[in-house]
Amino acid sequence: MYCSQCGKEVPGDARYCPVCGARQEMGIVPAEKLSGESRFDSEKRKLAHRRGRRLGNFLVTVTALLILFAADGEAPAADYVSRRMDASRFVTQNQREMVICNEKGEICTAELPRQILYSADHSQIAYVDRDQELYYMDGMTPVFVDDRAGAAALSFYGETLAYLRETDGGGQELCVYTVEDRTSERIPVRGCREFCLSPDGRTVACVETEGGGILSVWRTGEDETEITGNVSEILSVSDQGTCVMYRKDSDRLYLSHGKEEKCLASVRGSVNYVLNEAQTEILYTDEEGAWYYSAGQEEPVRLTGVKGAAVTSCYLEDTAYQQRQGLILGKKTLKNMLFATRDRRDHMYHIYHLDGEGNGAKALSGHTDQFQIAGNGHSLIYLSDQRLYRIEDVRYSQEKTCLSDSYPVSGFLADRDLRRVWFTTPDRELYFRGRKECVGLPGEPGSLQGRYMDGILFQEGRELYYADEEKKTLVKEDVDEVSVLENGFVILDTDSRYCYLRDMKDMVDLMGSR
């Protein structure tokens, strides 16, 4: 790589330029420079840093985790795998470096991070690298926040970062960093085991190991408040710290309002949960059943007949914030919500509808292989016993319609509103289902790859096609592997090169030849 200040060549593993001594940060690398020019245009690079573009309407994603070169300059054999980190799915090669790409084909690189953080709508991203340095992305520019960072969290809307930091004396401090004005507040902590950040990013609840697990709440600009001891897990903390939900002594769930502590229920084993944005409602499952609680109730309501553990990943295409075994949704209420569980024995899904009072849940499907909930949260498509069904709006009727007619179905993809559906048969033939009928799309047997633009990507052998309602269009030949990542970004492994699919006629060579 090359220095962002003086433009001189810098060894790939160097943190500082050997010529001018400037610290090496990531910067914009236009795609056309990856295989041609030998140095950066320093003036354009400086301009890009000064502009400090925010993500806003920019659909940011970690599109691939790829290696550049080993220290000796030779490219080692590829280890190309799909993996999960935090709430997202990635592609890695040799687990060395990360590539962040935008819709214009601009990319920047960094070491493979230890932790990746997203805001609820995925418009903001931050990460902790392997040197324990914390960064957030401002446009395509990574901004250094702090070093010696341990566990970190990005707030619901991406306005603040909270993180644990090791001090010079070997102690710990809990820090809250405000992205807009780049200021931070810090308090000392003693053996902090875990912490939880409120949606507005200004309140932190943390558990310190001393004293048997002391739970304390800290609102930035105010004094820290100690609540209770023997806490084993924090589920959530609301804005202003007025409501904290936590697990105590491993088997009891508590709610705290200020200094008042209320035991909600006994819980067994792992707890999976979904919260509304204000965190005044929770739906959770443990090893013995499912429960719903809303602030003001005397105790949680048991949802009889609900089986399995709540699936806390099925809303991640919407405004959803992942934390541990839970999910915070950008919804005012959980009532009338569709939710899914997964059976611990056969690993099949079950779909339920929470009623408008929170007093019960109705089963909408039995053993389900695959499902998709519409963006509005009211409609549902699911696959069961090779039959594809749709429920239009669970608020008014749970009547289901079979979409696959007489065709057996092995898998499907649908648009956000579930109005257009593509499915494959066990023989891997492709069909499109619109409002009224199924249409067979011509071609050889193949496999669904993912949603893209207004259609889907479908692979036949090593040929990649884009399919809409009526036809398939060849996108690329000699494709070995397709990875559809966050926000519809697509990486192709083709002709021994990794490409970002910007549109069907334009592909950006990410890293050059392997």
Phi and psi, residue 33, nearest 5°: -90, -5
Q: CA 475 to CA 38: how far, in whole Å? A: 31
Q: Quick one: pLDDT band at residue 1, thresholds 50, 70, 90?
A: low
Structure letter (DSSP) for residue 16:
B
Return phi, psi of residue 355, to 5°: -75, 175
Q: What predicted TM-score, i.e. pTM, was given to this entire model?
A: 0.76
Range with the lowest mean pLDDT among 102-111, 318-327, 355-364?
102-111
Instruction: Name the average pLDDT for the chain.
Output: 78
**Amino acid type, 52:** G
Q: What is the pLDDT of residues 418-439, one digit of tens each?
A: 999 999 999 999 999 987 788 8
Look at 99-108, 321-330, 360-369, 401-410 and tell me which has the smallest mean pLDDT: 99-108
More confident residue, 22 or 71: 22
Closest Cα to residue 456, out of 480, 425, 482? 482
- Residue 445 neighbours by CB under 8 Å, 6+ apart: 427, 428, 429, 460
Mean pLDDT confidence for 185-190: 91
Which residue from 426, 413, 388 is spatially nearest to 467, judged by alpha carbons? 413
Closest CA to 117 of 83, 82, 167, 163: 163
pLDDT tens-digit map of 240-294: 888 888 888 878 898 887 678 888 889 988 899 999 988 889 999 998 899 999 9
Number of H-type helices and E-type strands within the chain: 1, 47
In angstroms, the CA 314 to CA 306 distance is 17
- Which pLDDT does position 172 carry in this prediction? 92
Q: Please, is 267 exposed, middle or buried when counting C-beta atoms within 10 Å of its C-beta (0-12, 13-18, 19+)? A: buried
Burial tier of 350 (Cβ tally within 10 Å: 0-12, 13-18, 19+): buried
Distance CA 367, CA 200 (A): 38
pLDDT band at 209 (very low <50, low <70, confident <90, very high): confident
- Give which of 323, 324, 354, 318 is closest to 339, Cα–Cα: 354
Tens digits of residue pLDDT in 156-173: 889 999 999 999 888 999
Q: Is 302 in contact with 291 (CB distance < 8 Å)? A: yes
